[in-house]
Amino acid sequence: MASLRDIKNKITSTKKMSQITKAMEMVAASNFSRAEGNAKAFVPYMEKIQEVTASVALGSSDASHPMLVKRPVKKTAYLVITAERGLAGAFNSNVLRAALQAIQKRHQSNDEFVIIALGKVGREFFRKRDMNIALDLTSIANQPTFNEVKDTVNKTIGMFADGAFDELYMYYNHFVSAIQNDVVEKKLLPLTDIATSKKPMSYEFEPSAEEILEVLLPQYAESLIFGALLDSKAGEHAARMNAMRSATDNAKELIDSYSLLFNRARQAAITQEITEIVGGATALE
State which of residues 23, 58, 176, 201 lies at the interface with other proteins (CB under 8 A): 201
Asked if 135 contacts 158 with a C-beta cutoff of 8 angstroms, the reply is: no
Q: Which is nearer to other proteins, 77 or 212 (CB)?
A: 212
Q: Which long-range contacts (CB under 8 A, 24 or more apart) does 260-264 make?
A: 261/1, 261/2, 261/7, 262/4, 262/7, 262/8, 262/11
Q: Which is nearer to other proteins, 25 or 222 (CB)?
A: 222
- Regarding 212 and contact with other proteins (CB under 8 A), the answer is yes
**Which residue stretch of 63-71, 163-171, 205-213, 267-275 sits at the interface with other proteins (rule: CB under 8 A)?**
205-213
- Regarding 150 and contact with other proteins (CB under 8 A), the answer is yes
State which of residues 7, 11, 35, 52 lies at the interface with other proteins (CB under 8 A): 52
**Which residue stretch of 127-135, 141-149, 239-247, 274-282 sits at the interface with other proteins (rule: CB under 8 A)?**
141-149
The answer to whether the peptide bond before residue 72 is cis (omega within 30 degrees of 0) is no
* Neighbour-count burial for 241-255, b at 16+ CB within 10 Å, e otherwise: bbbbbebbeebeebb
For residue 79, CA distances in Å to 4, 145, 211, 231 come to 53, 19, 27, 15
Q: Which is nearer to other proteins, 217 or 244 (CB)?
A: 217
**Of residues 259-278, those binding other proteins (CB under 8 A):** none
Amino acid letter, 155: K
Asked if 125 contacts 93 with a C-beta cutoff of 8 angstroms, the reply is: no
- Regarding 204 and contact with other proteins (CB under 8 A), the answer is yes
Residues 172 and 235: their CA atoms lie apart, in Å, by 10
Asked if 17 contacts 280 with a C-beta cutoff of 8 angstroms, the reply is: no
Q: Which is nearer to other proteins, 88 or 149 (CB)?
A: 149
- Regarding 234 and contact with other proteins (CB under 8 A), the answer is no
- Regarding 64 and contact with other proteins (CB under 8 A), the answer is no
**Which residue stretch of 52-60, 94-102, 107-115, 121-129 sits at the interface with other proteins (rule: CB under 8 A)?**
52-60
Contacts of 224 (CB under 8 A, 6+ apart): 170, 186, 188
- Regarding 49 and contact with other proteins (CB under 8 A), the answer is yes
Q: Give the footprint of other proteins on this chain (CB under 8 A).
A: 38, 41-42, 44-45, 48-49, 52, 55-56, 145-147, 150, 201-207, 211-212, 214-216, 219, 223, 226
